[in-house]
Amino acid sequence: MLFAISVHEFAHGLVAYRLGDPTPKYQGRLTLDPRAHIDPLGMLMLVIFRFGWAKPVMIDPRYFKRPKQGMILVSVAGPLANFLSAYIFLLAIGIFPTLFSPRVGIVLYQFLLLNLHLNLGLAAFNLIPIPPLDGSKILGGLLPPRYGLKFEQLQGYGPLLLMLLLLTGIISRILSPMIAFLRFLLFSLPHF
C-alpha cells in the first residue's frame, strides 16, 4: 500500500510541477519515498481500519497557464499512475514468477497480484466524485462554471459523506463496478 500511495501522490506533484507549480518540489513531494507522503494518523487508520490517507500534495493552480485544466490534469495523474502501476504488475506477473522455483514463483505471483489489485483499488477509490477525492476535482473542473460553483459548496460535506459510505458498506457497491471496469481496461491492454 505504501508503494501505491507514494506513486499516487508523486504523480500529483510531478504533473503540478511540470505545469509550472514549484510547490510540490519545495515540499519535497517529488519522490517515491513513502516517508514524504505518509500522514501518521492516516497510516494508523489504514493499519487499524483498513482505510487511511496520505498527506495531500499542496498545489497552487495560480501557477498554471490554465488553472481549471491544470487541476483536472493534476487530479487525473494520481489514479492514472496507479492504473499504470497495475499494468506494470500485470506484465511482471507474466514474466517473473516463471523465472524462479515453484515455491518462490507462487509467493512472487501473489505479491505481484496483490500490488496489482491494491493499485486498481486505489485508482477506483480516488475516482469517486466525492470531496476530497480526485474524482470530485475532475468532475468540478468539467462542470459548467455555475454548476461547478454549486458543487464546490458541497466540499465541506464530502468527508462526512465518505465516512458514512464507508461505515455503511455502501462504498463497496460503488467501488465494485468501478474496479471491474478498470480491470476490464487493464486486461484489454497487451500483456503476456
Dump pLDDT digits (tens) for 136-173: 999 999 999 889 888 888 888 998 999 899 889 999 99
Give the chain's domain count. 1
In the predicted structure, residue 60 carries a pLDDT above the cut 90: yes
**Average pLDDT over the chain, rounded to an integer:** 93
Interior angle at CA 123, CA 121 and CA 124, nearest 5:
65
Catalytic residue among 9, 19, 108, 133: 9
Give the domain extent around 178.
Answer: 2-188
CB 168, CB 174: distance < 8 Å: no
Known catalytic residue at 9: yes
pLDDT in tens, 96-144: 877 888 888 888 999 999 999 999 999 999 999 999 999 999 999 999 9
Cell numbers standing for residue 82: 496507479
Nearest to 87 by CA among 158, 16, 188, 19: 188
Phi, psi of 55 (to 5 degrees): -70, 125
